[in-house]
Amino acid sequence: MKTNEIKKMGINIQNLNGLSTSEIGDDHISTSLETPMRKDAFKATDEEKKNKIALLFEEIMNVMGLDLTDDSLRGTPKRVAKMYIDEIFSGLNPENKPKIALFENKYRYNQMLVEKNITFYSNCEHHFVPIIGKAHLAYISSGKVIGLSKLNRIVQYFAKRPQVQERLTNQIANELSKILGTDDIAVIIDAKHLCVSSRGIKDESSATVTCYYGGVFNDSKKITELQNYINS
């Protein structure tokens, strides 16, 4: 669809580097570090959102001609609405951000700490189909240390949003850097996008790798060391 046709339909489009949103969609370009949210995103309660999503999803199913009086389909709109708000998109709500407590680095451990193979499920914001991947995080303490499971929770929080992998990588890095008070942070994400494997180009074997190297990780020796740990 051409940009002016989309405009005629009254759909608000952002023009990014001269590309229409339909072109951007298939190329998976992210626009900023922050997930684009409206200012009134949290005016409605979770319950109100679930009720509205259930109605709208029922409409989508109706439009596709599905018979919602069928026992198997009847509960789907509500199930989808609950899943969106309580589970797979719960990371949109800042109230669900994990509470992080830091500890003094009493062990005086001053080498890199690597938490690897953190499995996550996210969803591509251009197609709303799953992104399945592993995240590897590393940091060097600036005096404080973080509970290991919290690293996992930070990944899950940012994954539970409509996402693009580049933004997910940077959001995790940015959060870690803020919490730990250091830029000595590395984030590597290796993920499969179902919008690439199950539709569109239908490439089953390709995977996408993104990384963030901050501070001392901008050094080829440190990167090699980190990669050795991840591959070991």
Site for Zn ion, rule CB under 5 A: 124, 126-127, 195
Q: Is 16 helix (H, G, I), strand (E, B) or coil?
A: strand
Q: How far is CA 164 from the centre of its chain?
A: 6
d(CA 57, CA 195): 20
Residues 61, 66, 69, 73, CA torsion sign: negative
Q: Residue with the closest Cβ to Zn ion? A: 195
Minimum distance, C-beta of residue 46 to Zn ion, in the bound complex (Å): 26
Question: Please, what is the minimum distance in Å from the beta carbon of residue 164 to Zn ion?
Answer: 8
User: What are the strands, taking DSSP E only, across the chain?
Assistant: 102-104, 113-124, 130-139, 144-146, 162-163, 185-193, 208-213
Shortest distance, position 195 Cβ to Zn ion, whole Å: 3
Which one of 127, 136, 156, 171 is the catalytic residue?
Answer: 127
Please tell me whether residue 177 adopts helix, strand or coil conformation. helix
Active-site entry in 115, 156, 171, 193: 193
Task: Check 58, 136, 163, 165 and give the catalytic one.
Answer: 165
The DSSP 8-state label assigned to residue 2 in this structure reads -
Q: Which two tokens stand for residue 82?
A: 């609950």
Half-sphere exposure of residue 144: CA atoms within 13 angstroms, side-chain side: 13
Q: Is 125 a catalytic residue?
A: yes
State the nearest-atom distance from the C-beta of 193 to Zn ion, in Å.
6
Taking CA atoms, 5 is separated from 8, 23, 90, 210, in Å, by 5, 14, 34, 34
Choose between 50 and 161: whose C-beta lies nearer to Zn ion: 161
Q: Does residue 126 carry a catalytic annotation?
A: yes
Q: Look up 195 and say whether it is catalytic.
A: yes
- Cβ(140)–Cβ(182) below 8 Å: yes
Pairwise CA distance, residues 194 & 204, whole Å: 9
Q: Please identify, using beta-carbon distances, which residue of 124 and 188 lies nearer to Zn ion.
A: 124
Nearer of residues 88 and 114 to Zn ion, judged by Cβ = 88
28 is catalytic: no
Known catalytic residue at 193: yes
Task: Find the catalytic residue in 58, 115, 124, 171.
Answer: 124
Q: Which is nearer to Zn ion, 96 or 208 (CB)?
A: 208
* Nearest approach, Cβ of residue 84 and Zn ion (Å): 17
Residue type, 57: F
Annotated active-site residue in 58, 115, 126, 163 = 126
Q: CB-wise, 89 or 139, nearer to Zn ion?
A: 89
Return the active site residues: 124-127, 165, 193, 195
